[in-house]
A and B are shown apart, each in its own frame.
Chain A
Amino acid sequence: MDGTVATAPKRWVDTLPALLEVNNIEVVYNDVILVLRGLSLKVPEGKIVALLGANGAGKSTTLKAISGLLKTEEGEITRGEIRFAGERIDGLDPDRIVRKGIFQVMEGRRIVADMTPHENLRLGAFTRSDSEVKADIERVYAYFPRLKERTGLAGYLSGGEQQMLAIGRALMARPKLILMDEPSMGLSPLLVKEVFGIIRRLNEELGITILLVEQNARMALSVASYGYVMEQGKIVLDGTAEELSANEDVKEFYLGGHGTERKRFKNLKSYKRRKRWL
Chain B
Amino acid sequence: MQWDLLLQLTLNGLIVGTLYGVVAMSFVLIYKASQVVNFAQGEFLLIGAWACWWLLTEFQLPFVWGFLLTLVFMTVFGVLLQVIVLRPMIGEPVISVIMVTIGLSIFFQALMKWMFGVFAQPFPPIFETQAVRIAGLEVQSVYLLSLVISLAIMAAFAWFFTASKYGLAMRATAFDQQVAQSLGISVRMVFAMAWAISAVVSAVAGVVVGVVNGVSSGLSFYGIKVFPAVILGGLDSVLGAVLGGIIIGLLENIAHFFDSTILHWGNMFQIAPFYVLIVILMIKPYGLFGTKNIERV
Contact = CB atoms under 8 A, between A and B. Distances in A.
B and A form one assembly = yes
B172 interface: yes
A68 B169 CA distance: 19
A166 B141 CA distance: 51
Interface in B153-180: 162, 165, 168-169, 171-172, 175-179
B182 interface: yes
A98 B178 contact: no
By size class, the interface of chain B is: 10 to 19
B57 interface: no
Contacts of A119: 162, 168
B182 A110 contact: yes
Contact of A123 (B168, B177, B186): B168
Interface in A53-91: 67-69, 72-73
Interface in B179-211: 179, 181-186
Contacts of B178: 69, 72-73, 106, 110
**Interface of chain B, main secondary structure:** helix
A251 B228 CA distance: 64
Contact of A94 (B169, B171, B182): B182
Contacts of A67: 182
A173 interface: yes
Contacts of A94: 181-182, 184
A122 B171 CA distance: 12
A106 B176 CA distance: 13
Interface in A165-180: 169, 173
B181 A95 contact: yes
B186 to A, nearest CB: 4
Give the most central of A67, A103, A112, A169: most B CB within 10 Å.
A112
Contacts of A169: 183
Contacts of B185: 95, 123, 126
12 contacts: A69-B181, A73-B178, A95-B185, A98-B182, A110-B176, A110-B178, A115-B172, A123-B169, A123-B172, A126-B169, A126-B183, A126-B185
Given A69-B181, A106-B178, A126-B169, 9 more contacts: A68-B181, A72-B181, A73-B178, A95-B185, A112-B175, A113-B175, A123-B169, A125-B165, A126-B165
Across the A-B interface, give the 6 residue pairs with the lowest CB-CB distance, nearest first: A98-B184, A127-B184, A94-B181, A95-B186, A72-B178, A95-B184
